A and B are shown apart, each in its own frame.
Chain A
Amino acid sequence: MKVIIPSPLLSYTGQEKEVEVGGSTIAELLDELNRRYPGIRFRMIDEQDAIRPHMRIFVNGEQVWNINTPLQPSDEIYILQALSGG
């Protein structure tokens, strides 16, 4: 399925803004993403499997809060950096 990568993580994907990754849950998708781009998962997800405070994950436009959320092959995943700064 298509995964949109936010600009702070493009250094991991070789500047690819869209990547195709499989998985039956967000967790599996993140594991596959991490196998392909080592280190990317921990920058988004903490060691307790929580999405980090300033990261957001959307599935088909709906925000998800839990990485155990199931996925369908046709889903489109947006990983975003929250609007916050200083």
Chain B
Amino acid sequence: MPTTKKTAKKKPTGAKAASGSVALLIATKKGGFIFTSDAKRREWKIRGPIFLGHIAHHILLDPRDRRTMLMAAKTGHLGPTVFRSTDLGKKWKEATKPPAFPKAPEGEKGLVVDHVFWLTPGHPSEPKVWYAGTSPQGLFRSLDAGDTWEPVSGFNNHPMRFAWTGSGQDGTPDGPKMHSINIDPRDPNHMYLGMSSGGVFESKDRGANWHPLNSGCVADFLPDPNTEYGHDPHCVRLHPAAPDILYQQNHCGIYRMDRKEGRWTRIGENMPKAVGDIGFPMVVHPRDPETVWVFPMDGTQVWPRTSPGGKPAVYRTSNAGKKWQRLDNGLPRDQAWVTVFRQAMTADAHHPVGIYFGTTGGEVWASLNEGDKWTCIARNLPHIYAVEAAELGK
């Protein structure tokens, strides 16, 4: 019998909790959708599909102006691009210069962007800066709110890039990916990123130089599981209220790092053994550095990548992984063989925090009480790749 013990929500600390309506920006295998809530987050209006037939990997609203939206997209046949909107997704225009690797000298083989996988707005002090991570692993920067993109040569041309990333066969079944680009809210020069595969990397000089940051994290699929790089972080999050605290959902478990210690600690070993600590997404509380949510999946043997036992559940810790609580009230009780991709679970900034996820089966689920109870707010969408919450205000 699933457990759904209700717990008192921690009072907000640090940043003030948001109020008013929320937008969910949903990227799917067949286009984008924008869900907009009422002020109480109980009624949702659905707009879309946007660019029907495009494979949308990520859609984000710029939290610095609350107007600019970027969508990473391609089709099965056409090359990758970025679409931009400056009116909250009503009208869209293609980027003048999408992310692309430099042309290789004659006789040499150059890299080709297959798709743009991840988008991250830059530091609040750099209002038009955005970053993009691609497949294969490449880092790109825009200085003009996503209209033109340039390679970050400090990573893309790094002499260790090939060793760090491996070949095209060392990635996910959908290709190797750069993701989880995190900017330190205290310093625009301090960045982290994740690569599947490759591991977690850090830069302290705005991307000019990078070093691996995988100590303590296991790579049990490699001959040397304690290697310096070559890991498979699925999703890495820096805590906005405590930027020295990092969490990651890795191919090999759930980890936490206090950057001052510089070593990952596996906090997923306290998950129920029958469920395990494999999954894709990692969601941090907007204010409490000890509260995170994960969505476990079956990572045994051939990696079915479905909810363990066909019983989907979110798990939450409120004490940095010492204890985990199963949250499945309202979710299907069995025969639900879905999972949630790495960008497809998110939190809003309200109190209590709203948690949202989209499944590989095209359902969107919402909880207005931090996961204690779930409601399905949409069904029959295409396979969902990403769900991002954006505060629209009152």
Residues of A within 8 A of B (CB): 8-9, 38-39, 42-50, 52, 54-55, 81-82, 84-86
Contact = CB atoms under 8 A, between A and B. Distances in A.
A71 B75 CA distance: 29
A55 B77 contact: yes
B77 A52 contact: yes
Contact of A52 (B78, B100, B101, B110): B78
Interface of A is mostly: loop
29 contacts: A8-B75, A8-B78, A38-B94, A38-B96, A39-B95, A42-B98, A43-B78, A44-B79, A45-B79, A46-B100, A46-B112, A47-B100, A47-B103, A47-B110, A47-B113, A48-B101, A48-B104, A48-B110, A48-B111, A49-B103, A50-B112, A52-B78, A52-B79, A54-B76, A81-B77, A82-B77, A84-B77, A85-B76, A86-B76
B81 interface: yes
Contacts of B102: 47
Given A38-B96, A42-B98, A48 B103 contact: yes
Nearest to A43: B78
Interface of B: 75-79, 81, 94-96, 98, 100-104, 109-113
Contacts of A46: 79, 100, 112-113
Contacts of B94: 38-39
A54 B94 CA distance: 21
Nearest to B108: A48
B100 A42 contact: yes
Contacts of A85: 76
Given A42-B98, A48-B109, A48-B110, 8 more contacts: A8-B75, A39-B95, A39-B96, A44-B79, A48-B101, A49-B103, A52-B78, A52-B79
Contacts of B75: 8
Contacts of A38: 94, 96
A82 B109 CA distance: 24
A86 B110 CA distance: 28
B112 A9 contact: no
A48 B81 contact: no
A8 B55 CA distance: 13
Contacts of A55: 77-78
A86 B103 CA distance: 31
Nearest to B97: A42
A43 B112 contact: no
A48 B77 contact: no
A84 B104 contact: no
A18 B183 CA distance: 47
B96 A54 contact: no
Contacts of B100: 42, 46-47
A68 to B, nearest CB: 12
A49 B105 CA distance: 12
Contacts of B77: 8, 52, 54-55, 81-82, 84
The CB with the most chain A CB atoms within 10 A, among B76, B79, B94, B101, is that of B79
Considering the complex of A and B, which 3 residue pairs feature the smallest CB-CB distances, nearest first? Answer: A54-B77, A47-B100, A43-B78
Contacts of A8: 75, 77-78
Nearest to B98: A42
Contacts of A49: 103
Contacts of A45: 79
Given A47-B102, A47-B113, A42 B76 contact: no
Given A38-B96, A50-B112, A43 B104 contact: no
B354 to A, nearest CB: 35
Contacts of B81: 39, 42-43
Given A47-B112, A47-B113, A42 B79 contact: yes
B76 A44 contact: no
Nearest to B53: A8
B78 A44 contact: yes
A79 to B, nearest CB: 11
A48 B112 contact: yes
Contacts of A39: 81, 94-96, 98
A52 B114 CA distance: 10
Nearest to A86: B76
Contacts of B113: 46-47
Contacts of A54: 76-77
